[in-house]
């Protein structure tokens, strides 16, 4: 038998990501998006594929080229699809007939068009675009002045920058509509506010829209759901004005609306719940007030591109639905009923990151990943739980390469809390030998390591490292009390949880060399990496990524800085003592561990000045450190950044640990 190859950072170029399954209303076929990397152009390529659910057949590729073609959505009659493509430069909507032929460009809007939603009769499509307050959706591209001008940025609001989109350019998120036959455009929203298109009612009467319409946006963090009546342009708010709601779906008869959201009881640490709005009675009800699990997909990874998480997907009886929930390192397909009954339809040690039913609760197409499966689509029988694989987008790669084995671990913290995580053995593991260990810490902190593929972990294991990753308190997946426990306590019990995990591994796995321990993490995981090496010298090497080192300077500099500190540390600039006490920079003189610092130049979530301060403070004290600045990179470098830089990042991490941990 031919020996399998180890996984390397560069294998990102060979792997495909499959996401966003969309089953048609007949249940006979499914569209999905496959994304790969063009090494020559250092860009991502996405194309749309079709797979029959009725018969054994090969997948059919419906779009081609080296552009990003994504977000396919079936017309109500299943004869056409609309999708988003950047093939003309900006993202625009295109129409493609199911029977084949060339795609027809539907929009040519100066700022692009995304998020298409069909009208129930198939005559119109609503969409998302961005407009300045003086712009109209009917502006022609030819009339736009593209002359480059350097102008000052006038800032009057606190929310003037975003890690995702950079400095605010004066444009708001708005919703438009286009008549497919005539091309006539209509503005649904206008003004100085952002609106998010949700869904269209089955009778065509309403469009559901979410927005924060509070006057003081700087201090408002809500999202309400509105029903926009198409004929009259009348708006009706159906949520309370104090929570965060979205993912709006309609029952087949249009009498009920499903929502996912919460009332911000624990700020951004609050579990999302299921809600149902009765359209006739005008009554909103929470279906899961006492269900101690989070609705949605909270798994964190570094591989999938363009994941779409659905809301409640209703069945034919207008009372039942399916949805995704996160629990103990898995994402699970749950069946629910408006009476409040909930039970799992698909539960296993896996990450379900996509779900589509086409309107029937007999079958569903799910996207699944595991530590040894980068991701594929499966047909799920919702009645029996049986699954059948539909795609095999990395067949040859999986056949030729060896994936590291992963073992789940369960243990108690020193104060009696149940903790959960995983230990990945190095490739080529041999009993009786000892190996270095790398400890990985996730960001958030409100996220969840899961039974999913992680390219970084596999690359480390391929280089001879065991990899430990756990969900300390603050993580999703283990109850509301657990996720809230980190707020106001950064660097205390969360730190102890992580160190308890290291102690547990050393006590129970004799192949780990306690003299060769490494630690790394990004964002909150970077903060914790900095904190750990300032409080213990147990680690022989560390890599901190897009980290926080100084909560005082973080305040107001990060795009979330002026409120995140209040929510998470429960302190602001009126309490600098607390901010400094929780800052790793305050303990920099105690750091002896060789530290590699990785940071993106354009990171507005954890600005690069956080890394600069730490680097200079360490160098001034003659400590061993190196600082790598990644150009054109924001906070998402490791997940959706420029492919070549993602690979450079992985190699820097591996090489640093090889330099300091591979020497006995």
Nearest Cα to Cα of residue 287 among 331, 341, 325, 245: 341
The rounded distance, in Å, linking the Cα atoms of 582 and 131 is: 41
Q: Residue 163: what are its φ and ψ, rounded to 5°?
A: -60, -30
| pTM (2 d.p.) | 0.96
Peptide bond into 647 cis (omega under 30): no
Nearest Cα to Cα of residue 639 among 302, 353, 308: 302
Which residues on adjacent β-strands are paired with residue 314?
A: 321
Q: Examine the pLDDT at 196 and tell me if it is beyond 80.
A: yes
- Rounded mean pLDDT, 269-274: 98
The rounded distance, in Å, linking the Cα atoms of 573 and 565 is: 9
The predicted structure's pLDDT at residue 223: 98
Which stretches does DSSP call E strand in 474-588? 512-522, 541-545
- Domains (range + CATH), the chain: 402-661 (3.40.50.1820)
Q: Could you give the C-alpha distances from 626 to 602, 652, 657, in angstroms and in order?
A: 19, 10, 13
The predicted structure's pLDDT at residue 557: 96
The two beta strands, 363-370 and 351-356, are antiparallel
Tokens matching residue 305 = 């591109």
How many other β-carbons are positioned within 10 Å of the β-carbon of residue 241?
A: 11
Q: Could you give the C-alpha distances from 47 to 86, 384, 471, 536, 560, in angstroms and in order?
A: 11, 32, 35, 48, 34
The predicted structure's pLDDT at residue 1: 59
The DSSP code sequence of 314-374 is E-TTSSEEEEEEEETTEEEEEEEETTS-EEEEE-SSSEEEEEE-TT-SSEEEEEEEETTEE
520, 542 Cβ separation under 8 angstroms:
yes
Displacement of CA 566 from its chain's centroid (Å): 23
Residue 159, C-beta contacts closer than 8 angstroms, at least 6 positions apart: 168, 217, 218, 559
The rounded distance, in Å, linking the Cα atoms of 594 and 516 is: 13
Q: Examine the pLDDT at 145 and tell me if it is beyond 80.
A: no
Looking only at Cα atoms, what is the longest distance across the chain? 76
The rounded distance, in Å, linking the Cα atoms of 272 and 198 is: 17
Place of tokens 């502006």: 139
The rounded distance, in Å, linking the Cα atoms of 398 and 405 is: 14
**Average pLDDT taken over every residue of the chain:** 96
pLDDT tens string 286-338: 999 999 999 999 999 999 999 999 999 999 999 999 999 999 999 999 999 99
314, 322 Cβ separation under 8 angstroms:
no
pLDDT tens string 452-495: 999 999 999 999 999 999 999 999 999 999 999 999 999 999 99
How many other β-carbons are positioned within 10 Å of the β-carbon of residue 280?
A: 8
Nearest-Å Rg of the Cα atoms of the chain is 25
DSSP classification of residue 268 = G
- Rounded mean pLDDT, 270-281: 97
pLDDT tens string 41-61: 999 999 999 999 988 888 999
Tokens matching residue 435 = 């190996």
Q: Which stretch of DSSP H or E encloses residue 128?
A: strand 124-132
The predicted structure's pLDDT at residue 68: 98
Q: Examine the pLDDT at 651 and tell me if it is beyond 70.
A: yes
Query: In this structure, is the dihedral angle defined by the CA atoms of residues 219, 224, 230 and 231, taken in order, positive or negative?
Result: negative
List active site positions. Answer: 523, 635
The rounded distance, in Å, linking the Cα atoms of 214 and 204 is: 28
pLDDT tens string 528-542: 999 999 999 999 999
The DSSP code sequence of 160-172 is -EETTTEE--SEE
Q: Residue 546: what are its φ and ψ, rounded to 5°?
A: 35, 55
Displacement of CA 463 from its chain's centroid (Å): 27
Q: Could you give the C-alpha distances from 439 to 107, 386, 413, 546, 614, in angstroms and in order?
A: 49, 36, 17, 17, 21
Q: Examine the pLDDT at 66 and tell me if it is beyond 90.
A: yes
């Amino acid at each position: 038998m031919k020996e399998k190859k180890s996984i390397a950072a560069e294998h990102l170029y060979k792997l495909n990501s499959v996401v966003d399954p969309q089953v048609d209303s007949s249940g006979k076929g499914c569209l999905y998006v496959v994304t790969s990397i063009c090494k020559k152009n250092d860009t991502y390529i996405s194309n749309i594929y079709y797979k029959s659910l009725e018969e054994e057949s090969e997948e059919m590729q419906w779009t081609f080229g080296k552009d990003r073609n994504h977000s396919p959505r079936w017309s109500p009659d299943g004869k056409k699809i609309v999708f988003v493509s950047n093939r003309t430069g900006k993202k625009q909507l295109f129409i493609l007939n199911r029977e084949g032929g060339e795609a027809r460009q539907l929009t040519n809007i100066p700022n692009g068009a995304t998020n298409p939603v069909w009208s129930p009769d198939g005559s119109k499509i609503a969409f998302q675009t961005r407009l300045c307050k003086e712009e109209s959706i009917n502006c022609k591209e030819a009339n736009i002045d593209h002359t480059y001008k350097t102008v000052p940025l006038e800032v009057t609001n606190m929310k003037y920058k975003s890690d995702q989109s950079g400095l605010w350019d004066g444009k708001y998120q708005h919703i438009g509509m286009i008549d497919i036959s005539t091309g006539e455009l209509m503005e649904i929203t206008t003004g100085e506010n952002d609106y998010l298109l949700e869904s269209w009612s089955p009778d065509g009467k309403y469009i559901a829209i979410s927005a924060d319409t509070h006057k003081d946006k700087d201090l408002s963090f809500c999202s309400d759901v509105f029903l926009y009546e198409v004929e009259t342009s009348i708006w009706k708010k159906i949520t309370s004005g104090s929570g965060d709601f979205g993912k709006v779906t309609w029952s087949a008869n249009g009498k009920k609306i499903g929502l996912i959201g919460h009332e911000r009881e624990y700020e951004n640490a609050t579990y999302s719940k299921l809600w149902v709005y009765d359209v006739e009675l005008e009554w909103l009800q929470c279906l899961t007030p006492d269900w101690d699990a989070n609705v949605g997909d909270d798994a964190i990874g570094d591989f999938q591109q363009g994941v779409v998480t659905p809301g409640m997907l209703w069945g034919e009886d207008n009372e039942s639905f399916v949805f995704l929930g996160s629990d103990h390192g898995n994402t699970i397909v749950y069946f629910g009923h408006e009476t409040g009954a909930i039970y799992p339809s698909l539960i296993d040690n896996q990450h379900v990151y996509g779900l589509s039913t086409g309107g029937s609760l007999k079958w569903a197409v799910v996207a699944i990943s595991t530590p040894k499966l980068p991701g594929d689509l499966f047909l799920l029988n919702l009645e029996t739980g049986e699954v059948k694989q539909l795609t095999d987008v990395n067949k040859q790669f999986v056949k030729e390469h060896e994936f590291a084995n992963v073992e789940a671990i369960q243990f108690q913290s020193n104060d009696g809390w149940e903790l959960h995580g995983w230990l990945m053995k190095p490739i080529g593991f041999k009993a009786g030998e000892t190996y270095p260990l790398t400890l990985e810490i996730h960001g958030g902190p409100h996220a969840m390591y899961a039974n999913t593929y992680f390219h970084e972990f596999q690359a480390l294991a391929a280089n001879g490292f065991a990899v430990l990753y756990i969900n300390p308190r603050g993580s999703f997946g283990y109850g509301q009390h657990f996720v809230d426990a980190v707020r106001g306590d950064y660097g205390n019990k969360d730190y102890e949880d992580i160190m308890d995990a290291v102690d547990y591994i050393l006590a129970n796995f004799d192949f780990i060399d306690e003299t060769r321990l490494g630690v790394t993490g990004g964002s909150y995981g970077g903060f914790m990496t900095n904190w750990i090496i300032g409080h213990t010298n147990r680690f022989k090497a560390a890599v901190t990524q897009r980290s926080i080192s100084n909560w005082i300077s973080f305040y107001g500099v990060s795009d979330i800085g002026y409120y995140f500190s209040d929510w998470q540390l429960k302190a602001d600039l009126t309490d600098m003592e607390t901010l400094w006490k929780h800052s790793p920079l305050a303990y920099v003189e105690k750091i002896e561990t060789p530290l590699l610092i990785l940071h993106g130049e354009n990171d507005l979530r954890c600005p690069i000045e956080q890394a600069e301060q730490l680097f200079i403070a360490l160098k001034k004290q003659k400590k061993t450190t190196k600082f790598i600045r990644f150009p054109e990179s924001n906070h998402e470098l490791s997940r959706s950044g420029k492919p070549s830089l993602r690979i450079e990042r992985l190699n820097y991490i591996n090489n640093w640990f090889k330099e300091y941990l591979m020497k006995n």
